[in-house]
Amino acid sequence: MGIDPFGGPFNQTHHAEEILQDFDAFENERVSVAGRIMAKRGHGKASFAHVQDLTGQIQIYVRLNDVGQETYDLFGKLDIGDIIGVTGIVFKTRMGEITVSAEELVLLTKSLHPLPEKWHGLKDVELRYRQRYVDLIVNPDVRNDFLARIKAIKAIRQYLDEQGFLEVETPTLHTIAGGAAARPFITHHNALDIDMYLRIALELHLKRLLVGGLERVYEIGRVFRNEGISTRHNPEFTMLELYQAYGDYEDMMVLTENLVAHAAKAVRGTTVIP
């Protein structure tokens, strides 16, 4: 068809969620949305599809008279999983569904493999963890968990920064496997000709920074423990450690409680988590 299957840029002006949540402001307005085709159905000279972006799905309406024969033929050949960009007018169908009526439609990326079947989805646990990118596409709850994690980490940083803590980065390679009781991953430093260990904890270098005069420090970093693996235990994971001079365990208790409450409010809007 002479179309680059991995095409150029697209000016995405809005996401699905903001249009769906504020229809009155967007009704009869022109928007540009982009995302992956998750469902598609045709009715002769008019077709519908659901396009999924970061925030959710929105329906698009593609009509031959609006987009022209060439674009309509292209749309007819698109598959579930293809990524498209659509510019058009926001309206509600007779069934009451908020929809973008396409004036322009472009193929942005061709999907080379089909998505998991609609009704059964991606259920195999091991496959979900090995192909997280597919899991994110077909399981909205997983995507929401990823976004919640991002918000939580952002809130943790914000709170600790406001309390006068300094975020630091400490070495990943250690000469001793210390700071915790765990089996380390071992590697070899060729220039120094010594064995080194991927860190099993953040503790040791953070405490050295306290000795050096940095009174409040924290790190959110990756640690590595060469032990069992399951869906609940990954040999590589993220750890938060923080240290404070001139405080005791009661100070750390108050700090921890406030930190967790702050993160919960940032993610859920409340400290009551069901």
Of the residues 109, 143, 173, the one at which a domain ends: 109
Task: Indicate whether 79 and 193 sit together in one domain.
Answer: no
Question: Residue 220 CA to chain centroid, in angstroms?
Answer: 18
pLDDT tens digits for range 127-167? 888 888 888 888 888 899 999 999 999 999 999 999 999 99
Task: Indicate whether 104 and 157 sit together in one domain.
Answer: no
Task: Indicate whether 131 and 246 sit together in one domain.
Answer: yes
Task: Indicate whether 24 and 131 sit together in one domain.
Answer: no
For residue 119, tell me if it sits in a domain: no
For residue 117, tell me if it sits in a domain: no
pLDDT tens digits for range 23-44? 999 999 999 999 999 999 987 8
Task: Indicate whether 188 and 236 sit together in one domain.
Answer: yes
For residue 5, tell me if it sits in a domain: no
Structure confidence at residue 121 (pLDDT): 65
For residue 91, tell me if it sits in a domain: yes
Three-state SS at 223: strand
For residue 101, tell me if it sits in a domain: yes
CA distance 103 to 108: 16
CA distance 126 to 167: 35
The CATH number of residue 104's host domain is 2.40.50.140
Task: Indicate whether 150 and 239 sit together in one domain.
Answer: yes
Task: Indicate whether 142 and 243 sit together in one domain.
Answer: yes
Task: Indicate whether 135 and 251 sit together in one domain.
Answer: yes
In the chain, the percentage of residues whose pLDDT exceeds 90 is 79
Task: Indicate whether 96 and 131 sit together in one domain.
Answer: no
Of the residues 109, 143, 169, the one at which a domain ends: 109
Structure confidence at residue 217 (pLDDT): 98
Q: Which domain holds residue 102?
A: 16-109
For residue 199, tell me if it sits in a domain: yes
For residue 115, tell me if it sits in a domain: no
Of the residues 57, 81, 109, the one at which a domain ends: 109
Structure confidence at residue 274 (pLDDT): 77
Task: Indicate whether 94 and 132 sit together in one domain.
Answer: no
Task: Indicate whether 105 and 131 sit together in one domain.
Answer: no
Q: Which two tokens stand for residue 111?
A: 């999907």
For Cα atoms 8, 53, 132, give the angle at the middle one, nearest 5 degrees.
95
Amino acid letter for position 94: R
Our count of domains for the chain comes to 2
Structure confidence at residue 246 (pLDDT): 95
Task: Indicate whether 149 and 104 sit together in one domain.
Answer: no
For residue 156, tell me if it sits in a domain: yes
CA distance 67 to 244: 63
Q: Which of 106, 113, 111, 110 lies closest to 9 in space, CA to CA?
A: 106
pLDDT at 126 over 90: no
The residue to which tokens 């010594």 are assigned: 194
